[in-house]
């Protein structure tokens, strides 16, 4: 060695508590603090901590089975990971992400052998694994929350089979329906949401670990065995695809957006129904707020927030679609931005479903106000047209006749049930005494007894079917 030349210093393992970078051997300069702050994802991806531990333990055991770790090394790594799991993710913003935090803590706990854990693994397939494990669990939690809401809807529907109210089109009174029928409409909507999440689990149930950075794993690691350990039914078929796509997150966010759309429509209904103009429902005081200025106010803020938060979920979907749309294969750092919108959406859904379940359980329906609304106006107009059809009049002509009758009823402020037979015959000689058997809300509803109709008999059959399905899916 020439005089005056210093031997190249060996890089020491990270000192306890000091965040470090996996690429320190390649780059000659320490990261700028602004760069570290800008690139760090630990503040939000720490939510993946338990899944990172789970995947790391499975990977360590696979390395041992492949002879890449001795039994003692694997045992030390697994014990160290379990200790870290018990501590929780206590890192800071200076930790680049949860994956490097776990590796740093492992090396601090058990020494350089902890650095062997990353053999044959990249953060690219590591984060894809963590995200799938997280989303599998949260999808199942959300499916359970939807199920709880569905049960409350069925309870309310059974209690209100004989409660009648106007059904609406264009926010105008249209035809009388049963309140139970109305409630089951939202049951059907969120049932489709539930099955969408269930179906999405099929695409989630593929393990990406073993894809490496992009080209696959060069070591003889049994991916199928690791998949079974982690509860996956299969493994991803292409390493490039496994590390670079997030369509499983897009699919979840799409299903989440549809679910929130349904909850928002429901919230809008009940916001209207709770107003003095409708007065169809009374929300419990403990699920409402007041005004800071107007003493008389009782506001349906929870429903308004569900309606408002729907935009956040829509935004999450479009955020990720925009992130993905121009990414070349394979992994790009843009994908770090998949997690904040996903995590926010999961929490928004859980909270919204919980609030709607509380509201359904405790809302009071004003049955008299609903019934009174069915007696006003011309809700039986279609029934009168149908009656004339049974007497041989073409429907289009029957529609014209009854349309003129509606004008007359509005002008006289005298609804159809209060008309005499003579008054009816002024518009069509086809009206007979039997028409009065059909000129009631109950008769109108009872006629619609086909599958999917509002007749009580149809609703009862539907509830029985739903209960069987819910019992089977429990």
Under the banding of pLDDT at 50, 70 and 90, the label for residue 26 is low
Tell me if 353 sits within 8 A of 414, measured CB to CB: no
Query: CA angle 47-258-171, nearest 5°?
Result: 140
Task: Tell me: pLDDT of 285 over 50.
Answer: yes
Q: Average pLDDT, whole number, for the chain?
A: 91
pLDDT band for 6, please (50, 70, 90 cuts). very low
pLDDT, one tens digit per residue, over 354-409 is 999 999 999 999 999 999 999 877 899 999 999 999 999 999 999 999 999 999 99
The pLDDT confidence band at residue 43, using thresholds 50, 70 and 90, is: confident
Task: Give the helix/strand (H/E) hosting 207.
Answer: strand 206-207
Residue 58 or residue 22, greater confidence: 58
Q: What is residue 21's predicted lDDT score, i.e. its pLDDT? A: 63
- Among 470, 472, 404, residue whose Cα is nearest residue 146: 470
User: Are residues 254 and 202 in contact, defined by beta-carbon separation less than 8 angstroms?
Assistant: no
Q: Would strands 206-207 and 164-169 be described as parallel, antiparallel, or unpaired?
A: unpaired
- pLDDT tops 50 at residue 10: no
Mean pLDDT value across residues 50-55: 97
d(CA 402, CA 406): 6
Mean pLDDT throughout 89-103?
82
pLDDT tier at 32 (50, 70, 90 boundaries)? low
Is residue 23 predicted with pLDDT exceeding 70? no
Question: Would you say residue 8 has pLDDT above 70?
Answer: no
Domains plus CATH for the chain? 35-119 (1.10.275.10), 124-366 (1.20.200.10), 373-473 (1.10.40.30)
CA angle at residue 410 from 405 to 414, to 5 degrees? 85
Active site residues per annotation: 170, 291
| 185-199: pLDDT as tens digits | 999 999 999 999 999
Task: Supply 84's token pair.
Answer: 């870290």
Q: Looking at residue 263, what is its pLDDT?
A: 98
What is residue 1's predicted lDDT score, i.e. its pLDDT? Answer: 41
Helix (H) or strand (E) segment spanning residue 359: helix 339-362
The per-residue pLDDT for 7 is 38
């Amino acid at each position: 060695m020439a005089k005056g030349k210093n031997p190249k210093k060996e890089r020491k393992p990270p000192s306890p508590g000091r965040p470090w970078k996996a690429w320190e051997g390649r780059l000659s300069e320490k990261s700028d603090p602004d760069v570290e702050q800008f690139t760090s994802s630990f503040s939000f991806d720490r939510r993946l901590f338990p899944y990172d531990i789970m995947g790391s333990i499975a990977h360590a055991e696979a390395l041992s089975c492949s002879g890449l770790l001795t039994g003692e090394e694997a045992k030390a790594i697994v014990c160290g990971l379990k200790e870290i799991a018990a501590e929780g993710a206590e890192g800071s913003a200076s930790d680049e992400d949860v994956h490097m935090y776990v590796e740093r803590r492992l090396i601090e706990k058990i020494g350089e052998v902890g650095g062997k854990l990353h053999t044959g693994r990249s953060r690219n397939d590591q984060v894809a694994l963590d995200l799938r494990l997280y989303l599998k669990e949260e999808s199942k939690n959300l499916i359970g929350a939807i199920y709880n809401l569905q049960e409350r809807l069925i309870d309310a529907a059974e209690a209100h089979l004989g409660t009648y109210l106007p059904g609406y089109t264009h926010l105008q009174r249209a035809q009388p329906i049963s309140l139970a029928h109305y409630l089951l409409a939202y049951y059907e909507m969120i049932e489709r949401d539930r099955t969408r999440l269930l179906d999405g689990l099929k695409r989630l149930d593929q393990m990406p670990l073993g894809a490496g950075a992009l080209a696959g794993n060069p070591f003889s690691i049994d991916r199928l065995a690791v998949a079974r350990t982690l509860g996956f039914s299969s493994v991803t078929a292409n390493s490039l695809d496994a590390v670079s796509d997030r369509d499983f997150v897009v699919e979840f966010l799409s299903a989440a957006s549809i679910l929130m759309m349904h909850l928002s429509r429901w919230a809008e209904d009940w916001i209207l129904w709770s107003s003095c103009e409708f007065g169809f429902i009374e929300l419990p005081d403990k699920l409402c707020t007041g005004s800071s200025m107007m003493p008389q106010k009782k506001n349906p803020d929870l429903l308004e927030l569900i309606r408002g938060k729907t935009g956040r979920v829509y935004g999450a979907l479009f955020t990720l679609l925009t992130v993905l749309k121009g990414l070349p294969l394979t992994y790009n750092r843009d994908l770090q931005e998949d997690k904040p919108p996903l995590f926010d959406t999961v929490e928004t859904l859980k909270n919204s479903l919980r609030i709607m379940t509380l509201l359904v359980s405790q809302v009071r329906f004003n049955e008299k106000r609903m019934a009174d609304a069915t007696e006003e106006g011309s809700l039986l107009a279609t029934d009168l047209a149908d009656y004339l059809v049974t007497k041989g009049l073409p429907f289009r002509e029957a529609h014209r006749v009854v349309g003129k009758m509606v004008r007359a009823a509005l002008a006289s402020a005298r609804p159809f049930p209060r008309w005499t037979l003579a008054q009816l015959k002024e518009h069509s000689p086809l009206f007979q005494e039997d028409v009065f058997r059909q000129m009631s809300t109950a008769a109108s509803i009872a006629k619609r007894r086909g599958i999917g109709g509002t007749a009580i008999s149809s609703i009862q059959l539907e509830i029985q079917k739903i209960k069987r399905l819910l019992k089977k899916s429990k």
